[in-house]
Amino acid sequence: MLPDLELRVYAPIAEVVIVRVSGTVNTRTAAVVAKRVGHQFTRAPHVVVDLGEVTAADPRALTVLRTLHRQATATGTEIHLVRAEHDAVRPALRTAGLDQLFTIDSTAEAVIAGLRRQATPHDGPPQSGANQPDLNGAPR
């Protein structure tokens, strides 16, 4: 591992692998990030890249995320970026045009909660009929 970059990988649930990136993402470290994130595409259908601990980001280096997006799409994996709204990352994402390619979520927990909501069947609209309550909640 490079001294100015740390990557931690964990799977809080079977459907999600989180790669937490800490330190500097530049042209020297981007290949390490790409390799580690890319290896997760066979582990889970959702890979979360947590950029909250990135201290500096080079827009040229972040273009590796575009390549990862293509690879993920080809394998049926979805990449989620989280905690990327801080000053070390947001301008670099914008400069690289990646803010248009990715949805940026607040946290990995928010991604997991959203996936759980999608997996939960939703009740349909209420059926009309005698058993439906009126606007005051009383049965008709």
**Which domains are assigned to the chain?**
5-119 (3.30.750.24)
4 and 31 Cβ atoms separated by less than 8 Å:
no
What is the rounded distance in angstroms from the CA atom of residue 23 to the CA atom of residue 30? 11
pLDDT tens per residue across span 50-104: 999 999 999 888 889 999 999 999 999 999 999 998 888 999 999 888 988 998 9
The answer to whether the CB of 66 falls within 8 A of the CB of 98 is yes
How far apart are alpha carbons 140 and 132 in whole angstroms? 6
- N-terminal to C-terminal alpha carbon distance within the chain: 68
Report the pLDDT value the prediction gives residue 118, as an integer from 0 to 100: 86
Least confident of 41-45, 59-63, 111-115: 59-63
Closest C-alpha to 98, from 138, 70, 140: 70
* Sheet with strand 5-13: strands edge to edge: 5-13, 16-25, 46-57, 78-82, 104-105
Say whether pLDDT at 36 is over 70. Answer: yes
